[in-house]
Chains A and B, each alone.
Chain A
Amino acid sequence: MPSVRRTYAALAFFLAIGAAGCTEVAPWQRGNLAKPQMALEPYPLQSSFRGHIYGSREAASGVSASEGGGCGCY
């Protein structure tokens, strides 16, 4: 048996195994995902507040924004 065919067969085999891993989590199986410790953003209000502060400070001094806002408040 040529090794190319064997390589293809192995590739197909692992693709099949991988495809079986592409499973959908059913809506009723999301109990663990719904737990607060599974949240990507544990404190969304605090994060958005900090983001706002960071954004406005940085924009004033011109680090993450293209140029400073020039409001003289930095």
Chain B
Amino acid sequence: MLVVHPKKIALFGVFLAVLSMPLFAVERGEISGNCTLPLLDGSGNVALNELKGKVVYLDFWASWCGPCAKSFPFMNRLHDELGGKDLAIIGVNLDENPEDGQAFLAQYPASFTIAADKGEQCARLFDVKAMPSTYLIGRDGVIRDVHLGFRADEGKALRETVEKLLNENPSATGAK
């Protein structure tokens, strides 16, 4: 004889509802969480908390996302022109298939760091709302700007923000 516990079943329902609830949004002004990501070429890891003192341009992309392809030349330019000045540009690939990401990179080569977020923990931590999503993290580890999507005419504003963040406290401790 199966004994049914309505209260337990109701609790189980609440538990399931909580499980399917969305995460808190990550907004500017919040301290960036830490996540460690393996590089796509398998040559090690990149950890956000090791980049304290640097300005971090964190960009989430995927091969199937059209605007991402448009943002790559911009990020390459940013890397070539400012990359040496305490700026870390990290493109986080969110393809389910790593091969798709590789094929995309063959078509749109990247001179900046490319990491893979296979377990999606970084995407969940930052609660990515759109593809691509760009998070600009200041030297103090605070998220200073969140930019959703990418259009060719938005590069200028992004670049200005990056330059502004680079000019803040250039002699910050921990800057490598």
Residues of chain A having any CB pair with chain B under 8 Å:
1, 5-6, 8-10, 12-13, 15-17, 19-20, 22-24, 26-31, 34-35
Contacts and interface: CB of A to CB of B under 8 A. Distances in A.
Contacts of B20: 19-20, 22-24
A28 B16 contact: no
B88 to A, nearest CB: 21
B131 A28 contact: yes
Given A16-B13, A19-B20, A34 B128 contact: no
A8 B6 contact: yes
B9 A27 contact: no
Nearest to B94: A28
Query: Interface residues of B toward A: which range?
Result: 20 to 34
Contacts of A8: 6
A6 B2 CA distance: 10
B128 A26 contact: yes
Interface stretch (B31-39, B58-66, B154-162): B58-66
Task: Identify whether the interface residues of A are mostly helix, strand, loop, or mixed.
Answer: helix
B145 interface: no
B4 A6 contact: yes
Given A31-B95, A34-B64, A35-B64, A9 B131 contact: no
B109 to A, nearest CB: 21
Interface centre among A20, A29, A31 (most CB of B within 10 A): A31
B10 interface: yes
